[in-house]
Amino acid sequence: MSYNNYDSGYNTSYGAGGGGGGGGFVPDGSQNSPGGGRKDYSQDSLRPVTIKQILDAQPVGNGFNIDGSPITQLTFVGQIRNISSQATNITYKLDDGTGSIEVKKWVDSDAIEQDSTKTKLTEGSYCRAWGKLNSFNDRKHVGAQIIRPVEDLNEVSYHLLEATVVHLHFTRGPPSGAAATTGGNVPQQQQQQQAAGAGFVAADLAGYSSAAKRVFQHMRQAEQTNEGLHQQDIAAKLGMDPAEVARAGDDLLSGGLIYTTVDDLTWAVLEGE
């Protein structure tokens, strides 16, 4: 799959809906250039991201870069913390556990709003947004073309995993299998990971506290559901103070070794099988 034109895999998989030819993601803006010619969307991309990646995006020219690569359209999942309705737009404040950002959905007075969708976009519920990153007075926000409620919470975990896969593609290169297929050399770090039979080796934990190491090793080895392990269960199993486990979890979350699932206190390990 080409990550430079990542939208090719997302036109139907998320069921975005929208106008036009039916079922696809609709790029922002007019399709005609100021000079009268048709605008070229061949360089447009649709990338799954976390809110932290959005907040950390670097301005480049008239756009932004994430992981050193330009982005045009993006999609992410978050929990609605606040809704502010105005005459011209509805502003949703979304939080995905990595950060929070405002998402503005402009009101089309000529469009017929689907009541079933609108009523499900309530505070505390999860939704997926598609849109474009903007900045005003050095404050980032997302201008959304589409916002829809998340019907299955598995989509939240799936999205975080998918955003991580794309992030690793841009920062560490394609998977080792792809490198072998193309005759490329697998980096030494990936060779170490393969030898260890896991996505993270002991060297990756060198900078972490002993508590973080204990928590991470326990999470890798303990029996668990797809939702992962709750902070209180980890503390009980390891005989550690819950506050110490919470600090260890914060360190592992910041390092990208684990991720939150059903809530901020339930974690799962982010590693290859």
CA distance 26 to 94: 22
Give the pLDDT mean for 257-263: 83
Segment 46-61, tens digit of pLDDT: 899 999 999 999 999 8
pLDDT score of 116: 52
Segment 112-134, tens digit of pLDDT: 555 556 668 999 999 999 999 99
pLDDT score of 159: 93
Range of the domain at 98: 6-155
pLDDT at 29 over 80: no
From the list 245, 243, 242, 241, the residue with the least C-alpha distance to 258 is 245
Domain boundary among 113, 132, 155: 155
pLDDT score of 181: 45
HSE-up of 54 (CA within 13 Å, CB side)? 33
Residue 187 lies in a domain: no
Rounded mean pLDDT of the chain? 75
Read off the pTM: 0.52
pLDDT confidence band for 224 (50 / 70 / 90): confident
CA distance 178 to 173: 9
pLDDT at 228 over 70: yes
CATH of the domain at 59: 2.40.50.140
From the list 78, 85, 74, the residue with the least C-alpha distance to 118 is 85
Based on the domain organization, do 33 and 120 belong to the same domain?
Answer: yes
Give the pLDDT mean for 238-261: 88
pLDDT confidence band for 255 (50 / 70 / 90): confident
Based on the domain organization, do 213 and 151 belong to the same domain?
Answer: no
